[in-house]
């Protein structure tokens, strides 16, 4: 039998970004990409991201978190999922453990911290944005990632062009548009996600700066497709807008699923994301899920 069978999970969401939280602390288990795909394919445990909590392996951390997209690929960052993990580690009767007021979580993007901002809301310190072309990464050495050369559509009337590029530990391209709803992101998203300019693929955002303190955003997520919200994309969009002098360092980012408050703090260059979480149900992973996992 698959070693993940019968393990309990939480089905949560962060602004409609569908998240499954699995706690593997106290075991040596790790999730394989095919297992992540099998969990995502089941209606009850459907997810955009699977957040797996492991025992901390570095001093000072409460846990290590591994992140998988619905297609089984790994991501180093997931803002909405990190808030869900923070809720689970502080409120779920089986997952909560005693710890300080601030949770310390190690991810492949580095050390993050999360603190309660209400019973069902958390602020996550998402760390520093990475802005150099080879950190994002891009396939070409752009000196200025505030606007990179990329366009789709006819040369003289492109549908989208000149995105900003930012990494929040994961790669983001942000296209500036008048109306994010006017563009067929479901059709264009997969083409851009897999564009040769992004050697590790990219999360693709359409952003409109409605006011210096409000950005409207839609996101096609790498490895998950159209989602109702993406926390790291909201952080990346605010950083990109500030770099272009379009927004203030603190703004509300409105996604189809709702609002996130984002601040790019001047004092330490860190990006803070505050938003809600919701618990939908808990369940156990049925052994049948993994029968054909390939
Ligand atoms: N939903 C997430 C981002 C998840 C990872 C992304 N799809 C990637 O592969 O980089 C968020 O809230 O940040």
- Residues of the chain with pLDDT > 90, as a percent, come to 95
Could you tell me which residues are beta bridge partners of residue 259? 254
Do residues 83 and 278 make contact, with C-beta atoms less than 8 angstroms apart? no
- Distance in angstroms (rounded) separating the CA atoms of residues 293 and 39: 9
Ligand 1 nearest atom to the CA of residue 76, by list position: 10
**275 closest CA partner among 53, 7, 18, 13:** 13
**CATH code of the region 8-127+278-290:** 3.10.310.10
ipTM: 0.97
pLDDT tens figures, 19-67: 999 999 999 999 999 999 999 999 999 999 999 999 999 999 999 999 9
pLDDT tens figures, 67-96: 999 999 999 999 999 999 999 999 999 999
78 lines ligand 1 (CB under 6 A): yes
230 catalytically annotated: yes
Q: What angle do CA 186, 190, 191 make, to 5 degrees?
A: 115
Please state the pTM of the whole predicted model: 0.97
| pLDDT classification of 293: cutoffs 50, 70, 90 | low
Ligand 1 nearest atom to the CA of residue 202, by list position: 10
223 lines ligand 1 (CB under 6 A): yes
80 has binding-site annotation: yes
pLDDT tens figures, 103-157: 999 999 999 999 999 989 999 999 999 999 999 999 999 999 999 999 998 888 8
- Every domain of the chain with CATH number 3.10.310.10 lies at 8-127+278-290, 151-269
84 catalytically annotated: no
Ligand 1 nearest atom to the CA of residue 82, by list position: 12
- Residue 188 CB: number of other CB atoms within 10 A? 18
- Distance in angstroms (rounded) separating the CA atoms of residues 140 and 198: 9
**176 closest CA partner among 192, 197, 193, 160:** 160
80 lines ligand 1 (CB under 6 A): yes
**CATH code of the region 151-269:** 3.10.310.10
Mean pLDDT, rounded, of the chain: 97
């Amino acid at each position: 039998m698959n070693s993940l069978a019968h393990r309990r999970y939480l089905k949560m969401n962060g602004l409609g970004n569908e998240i499954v939280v699995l706690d593997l602390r106290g075991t040596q288990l790790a999730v394989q990409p095919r297992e992540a795909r099998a969990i995502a394919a089941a209606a009850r445990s459907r997810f955009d991201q699977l957040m797996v909590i492991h025992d901390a392996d570095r001093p000072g951390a409460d846990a290590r978190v591994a992140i998988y997209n619905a297609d089984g690929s790994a991501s180093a960052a997931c803002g909405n999922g990190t808030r869900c993990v923070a809720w689970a580690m502080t409120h779920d009767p089986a997952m909560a453990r005693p710890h300080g007021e601030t949770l310390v979580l190690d991810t492949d993007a580095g050390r993050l911290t999360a603190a309660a901002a209400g019973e069902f809301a958390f602020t996550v310190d998402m760390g520093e944005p990475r802005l150099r072309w080879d950190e994002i990464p891009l396939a070409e050495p752009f000196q200025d990632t505030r606007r990179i050369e990329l366009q789709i559509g006819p040369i003289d009337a492109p549908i989208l062009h000149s995105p900003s590029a930012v990494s929040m530990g994961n790669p983001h391209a942000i296209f500036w548009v008048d109306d994010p709803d006017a563009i067929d992101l479901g059709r264009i998203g997969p083409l851009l996600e897999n564009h040769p300019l992004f050697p590790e693929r990219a999360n693709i955002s359409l952003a409109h700066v409605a006011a210096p303190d409000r950005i409207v955003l839609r996101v096609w997520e790498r490895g998950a497709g159209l989602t109702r919200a993406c926390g790291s994309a909201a952080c990346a969009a605010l950083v990109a807008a500030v770099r272009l002098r379009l927004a203030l360092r603190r703004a509300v980012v409105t996604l189809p699923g709702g609002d996130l408050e984002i601040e790019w703090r001047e004092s330490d260059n860190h990006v803070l994301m505050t938003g809600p979480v919701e618990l939908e149900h808990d369940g156990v992973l049925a052994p049948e899920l993994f029968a054909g996992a390939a």
